[in-house]
Homo-oligomer: A and B are copies of this chain.
């Protein structure tokens, strides 16, 4: 769908310079932009490639000399990266899901479906489920027994929402995401090797193999507004109380959130992160890709874990952590600089020992 630059500027509050009647149908990188695309050149180094493409207009940084770049118009913003949010939303053609309830969908008569909801082929809506107005439920999804989805949800294909899960408004879930699988909670008749190893810091395992008895997950999952969940990610239900996710949290693909976990608002949880059972995470926390947080810990507000960081103890608010086991990022960089130079340190100490030994002989 084409927009004029004036429409875009007005809709997103951007600064427009030049010919606002130019129409664009999409976004492109400078070198490959067609005349009907808006080139994205938000830093001077990207603008250099503009002559290789055919763009008439570009999204630029504030103060850029667009005329010298051979453009007929430019959009500008104080923080162009933030402008990308609105721009990309306007230009997104989406997945082409249909409207209304597809004839192959199985919708239980007791489910309450809001106005203007789209339900895709092969999707199953169980008894007592509620789906908020304006939601789009893609193909092959399951909305479980008495589960509840707020307004304006967008579920891509194969998303599975378990029984009694409650989710707020504008939830987005990528294909294969699972909310409300059972927590991983088992118990042995006698204290297990893990319980012993934790108590003794590993000095003592066990010499008996016991069978694991399942503890059922009776709690649900409660998710706030404006949460997104990545492809094939999993949020488990709680044991007794609910697993809880605050407003505005964003989860990437293949993330695992264990039972009873509590996450504050506006957290960013990158791909393949794992958070073990009963851990509490504050507001605005960022967990880098492949990072892990052990069970029953507390991660303070706005803490940041770098990629693949593994946290085995509590993290205070605002702390930036890196490594396994996690250290403060600057300490980690120092320590690992040392680790690389360790073979040389051993040689130095060996020489010192020899020298000191010689000196001692002389006395």
A interface residue count range (under 10 / 10 to 19 / 20 to 34 / 35 or more): 35 or more
Contact between A85 and B346 (Cβ–Cβ < 8 Å)?
Answer: no
Contact A250-B186, Cβ < 8 Å, known A156-B181, A325-B336, A327-B340: yes
**A252 at the binding interface (Cβ < 8 Å):** yes
A334 located at the interface, meaning its Cβ lies under 8 Å from any Cβ of chain B in the complex? yes
**Please, which residues of chain B bring their CB within 8 A of the CB of A189?**
79, 82
Kindly identify which residue among B85, B188, B286, B324 contacts A323, using a CB–CB cutoff of 8 Å. Answer: B324
| A292-B274 contact in complex given A79-B190, A85-B214, C-beta closer than 8 Å | no
* A363-B358 Cα distance, complex, nearest whole Å: 11
The complex places the Cα of A258 from the Cα of B271 at a distance, in Å, of 9
Chain A contact surface mostly: loop
- Please name 15 further chain A to chain B contacts, defined as beta carbons within 8 Å, in addition to the given A174-B182, A270-B276, A323-B325, sorted by A numbering: A85-B187, A86-B213, A88-B214, A92-B218, A106-B122, A139-B142, A175-B181, A184-B230, A202-B304, A202-B306, A272-B272, A324-B324, A337-B343, A352-B352, A352-B353
Residues of B with C-beta under 8 A to A292 = 272, 289-290, 307-308
A50 in the interface (beta carbon within 8 A): no
Chain B residues positioned under 8 Å from A341 (CB to CB): 346
Q: Within the complex, which residue of B124, B140, B252 is in contact with A142, where a contact is CB–CB below 8 Å?
A: B140
Q: Is A96 an interface residue (CB 8 A)?
A: yes
Copies in the complex: 3
Give A139 to B129 CA distance when docked, in angstroms. 15
Residues of B within 8 A of A226 (CB): 211
Contact of A307 with B276 at beta-carbon distance under 8 Å, contacts A184-B252, A232-B234, A355-B360 already known = yes
Q: How far is the CA of A246 from the CA of B27 in the complex (A)?
A: 24
On whether A349 and B346 interact (CB within 8 A), knowing A240-B27, A312-B307, the answer reads no
CA distance A172 to B185 in the complex (A): 14
Determine whether the beta carbon of A184 is less than 8 Å from that of B359: no
Q: Does A150 contact B (CB under 8 A)?
A: no
Our pick among B146, B232, B270, B290 for the contact of A310 (Cβ within 8 Å) is: B290
When the two chains form their complex, are residues A329 and B232 in contact, meaning their CB atoms are under 8 A apart? no
Residue of A144, A146, A330 with most chain B CB atoms under a 10 A cut-off = A144
CA distance A352 to B193 in the complex (A): 41
Q: Which residues of B contact A337 (CB under 8 A)?
A: 343
Are A29's CB and B253's CB within 8 A?
no
Q: Mark A164-198, 1 if CB is under 8 A from B, else 0.
A: 10000000101110100110101111111110010
